[in-house]
Structure 1
Amino acid sequence: MFGKIGNFFNKVQVNTDAFFQAHHSNQHHNGHAQYPPHQGQYPPPPPDMQAQQCQYPPQQQASYPPPPPCAGQFQPQQFGCQNKNPHYNDNRKSAFQKFSRKAGKDSHNNSNYFDHLEQSNLKNQFHKPEVKRITVFHNNNIVIGIEVTYSTLTNSNAATISSKGTSYQGFVQSSSIELSFGERIEEISGRAGDSIDRIRIKTSKNQVLEVGGFGGQPFNNILDGFHPTIISFGGSTREYLDSIYVIYK
């Protein structure tokens, strides 16, 4: 009798071992079915992690790191870009002193800012100065700088101020235009990118000074009004003339 009872428990133990062995085999098989093997990757990532990998927009592919979502691009024909020139501000505007639009780019970290009226004794003159002569320094590709001679009612050569790139090396040409009595500048236009690539100055008596290259983007006449009287030039330089504006009355 005891022999029969022992045989019964032995059979139960064998059946139990077989059950757990089969159950473990099914779990192992299901685990591999749930996560198919990935080449060169072990262990495989969960499905939700796979969906998050490398999901950049198509236009940003092949770019690492991806560009910021609002990366601005300078468009010189669109005036009103972020201004860092401390001389170009609303505090100096008045009914008798206005600022033109600005061409070029003066937001470089190492820009040298200039404003002929603010940085000279011209601002202390009783009579506002006027432009008498303009000389542009350039080569066939870009504008290097500008030099302006100003006159007043009491002094026909009140000041000559030069604003040029400080580190440019190479052949530089100069082209000038001189205004006669009653002659006004009616157009300042050209091409610009990070610097002033080309400049065109036209007067009310059809004198034209146009020099430089054809890089950058075109910018339209920065002057408003009909034959304004320019009293000062301003802008910024580095190696070249980077930006330009005028103050007029």
Structure 2
Amino acid sequence: MPDNDAVTTPAQTPAQTPRVATERRGHILHIALDRVDKRNAADERMLQELALAYGELDRDPELRVGVVSARGDHFTGGLDLADIAPKLATGRLSLVPDGGLDPWGLQTPAVSKPVLLAVQGTCFTLGIELALASDIVVAAETTDFGQLEVARGIMPFGGATVRFPRLGWGDAMRWILTGERFGAAEALRIGLVQEVVPAGAELERAFALAEQIAAQAPLAVQATLAAARAALPETTDAVAGLLPAVQRLAATNDARRSAESYLTGKPVPFEGD
């Protein structure tokens, strides 16, 4: 299902070129990250537009399933540190505008309807965390994953420290604590993704699964999803500590050095201060 055949509408204001576009396909809301020139790296505006799209999915009774994908060759390069890092350090980062829902389900209740991801190319940091917060993930066989925050002087704050260990402690720590990259086969092995398909087939497969879900009784699907989530371990205290912890880290010299490295492309040694 070619992504460029869709007629899209911006998730925020028509005066701006949207970072996120939405399109309704029957009972399915297609949400597409669209900052191709930056490898879909997320700045504050992209995060807010994504939250608004999730709010739309949650509120509209005609919408039963969400499919999240990204235009271009990459799902996301992670955070746009030039925009996000200073706001993190000062506590000025605003992620969920009025009418939105936190796509990672940390600052607001999670969206009440199933969300499927189709990922390809680079899927770093918040992309992994969006996968962990979603219900079914389809990955292109060439997808490159990485939970890179420790290499940037900060820590994951989109739920990786809460949800990744549910897949298996050792597997989670292997990738969260080293910041190394891993491929789609490893993501399938550890349960981060549910299907791996040839590159270019991921969105079509995600839509096929979404259509199967959308054909079921919607109230039954939502009740089943809610019941399954209720069985998960309580993580309120862990979630509450994420933003304060990452704000402290973002204000360190190591985080400043990492931001400079991100902008210049030159590696810097961490000093632990």
TM interval, shorter chain, is: under 0.3
Structure holding more helix per residue: 2
* Structure of greater relative contact order (alpha carbons < 8 Å, 6+ residues apart): 1
> So what's the TM-score if we normalise by structure 1?
0.21
> So what's the TM-score if we normalise by structure 2?
0.20
Which structure's CA Rg is the greater one?
1
